[in-house]
């Protein structure tokens, strides 16, 4: 489970990363001195029990939160040193998010949901619509562009969410329990699709999950335990 040869360009570097939350009078350490490098076009899976820090780490890499201390370098830029506006602009251009509960805008059609990331980045609407329709065809939803999310099945909504995460061509895709709200067979189909799309486009995918059935798609696997990010060197170590 190593990154494919020729794809060893460092993309994300975590250096001395710490994250703590204040819970009443107690400070709770969620991440402790995390040091790791994630490469371009690598698929990384984060395992760990609920509350172990998987989502926290994704939020830090996605520039949604700021660490208590340490560095998060993306192509040499330290997210921890950015202003709120700089982090917002960074997210728009560099990160695609996939969530457990899809997070589609219910009052917008599928196509309008897909055009949102492009509009935020100032992209041309005609070019964006062509790309959106092409991607919908690729995920077998070409006939649902004008549908609203509430008439789609869970699996269909997650396929739309995958397209939304990729449509602005970000180098990083972050997925937080993307199959957690799907049945086993639908979840497997969604993961197969995600695997195929991110590898074809050479995206770096970091996925948090509690489902060990997904580990077969990973180049590398880590567990989060007591705030520590621990590499898994073989499936026997799970």
**pLDDT band at residue 1, thresholds of 50, 70 and 90?**
very low
Let me know if residue 91 belongs to a domain.
Answer: yes
Under DSSP, the state recorded for 226 is: T
Let me know if residue 76 belongs to a domain.
Answer: no
Let me know if residue 6 belongs to a domain.
Answer: no
CA atoms within 13 A on the CB side of 178: 34
Residue 106 has a pLDDT of 94
Return the higher-pLDDT residue of 124 and 24.
Answer: 24
Is residue 103 over pLDDT 80? yes
Let me know if residue 7 belongs to a domain.
Answer: no
Tell me which residue range forms the domain holding 149: 41-52+83-233
CA atoms within 13 A on the CB side of 112: 10
Q: Any idea what the CATH number is for the domain that residue 133 is in?
A: 3.40.50.300
Strands (E), the chain: 10-23, 26-39, 43-47, 69-74, 77-78, 95-98, 172-176, 204-208, 220-225, 228-232
CA distance 18 to 227: 9
pLDDT, tens digit, 9 for 90 and up, residues 151-203: 999 999 999 999 999 999 999 999 999 988 888 899 889 899 999 999 999 99
Residue 3 has a pLDDT of 44
Is residue 50 over pLDDT 70? yes
Q: Would you say the pTM of this structure is higher than 0.85? A: yes
Spatial contact of 147 and 116, defined as CB atoms under 8 Å apart: no
Counting the structural domains of the chain, the total is 1
Let me know if residue 184 belongs to a domain.
Answer: yes
Let me know if residue 228 belongs to a domain.
Answer: yes
Let me know if residue 160 belongs to a domain.
Answer: yes
Let me know if residue 5 belongs to a domain.
Answer: no
Is residue 133 over pLDDT 70? yes
Is residue 123 over pLDDT 70? no
């Amino acid at each position: 489970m190593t990154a494919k040869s020729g794809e060893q360009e460092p993309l994300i570097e975590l250096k001395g990363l710490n994250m703590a939350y204040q819970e009443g009078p107690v400070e709770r350490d969620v991440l402790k001195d995390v040091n790791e490098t994630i490469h371009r076009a690598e698929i990384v899976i984060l395992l760990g029990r609920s509350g172990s820090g998987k989502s926290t780490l994704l939020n830090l890499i996605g520039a949604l939160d700021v660490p208590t201390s340490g560095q998060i370098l993306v192509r040499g830029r330290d997210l921890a040193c950015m202003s709120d506006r700089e982090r917002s602009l960074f997210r728009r251009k560099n990160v695609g998010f996939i969530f457990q509960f899809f997070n589609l805008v219910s009052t917008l059609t599928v196509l309008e949901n897909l055009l949102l990331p492009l509009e935020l980045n100032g992209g041309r609407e005609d070019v964006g619509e062509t790309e959106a329709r092409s991607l919908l065809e690729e995920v077998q939803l070409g006939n649902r562009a004008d549908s609203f999310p509430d008439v789609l099945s869970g699996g269909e909504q997650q396929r739309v969410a995958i397209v939304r995460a990729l449509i602005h061509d970000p180098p990083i895709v972050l997925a937080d329990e993307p199959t957690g709200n799907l049945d086993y067979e639908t979840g497997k189909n969604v993961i197969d699709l995600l695997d195929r799309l991110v590898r074809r486009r050479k995206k770096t995918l970091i996925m948090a999950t509690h489902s060990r059935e997904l580990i077969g798609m990973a180049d590398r696997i880590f567990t989060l335990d007591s705030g520590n990010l621990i590499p898994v060197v073989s499936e026997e170590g799970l």
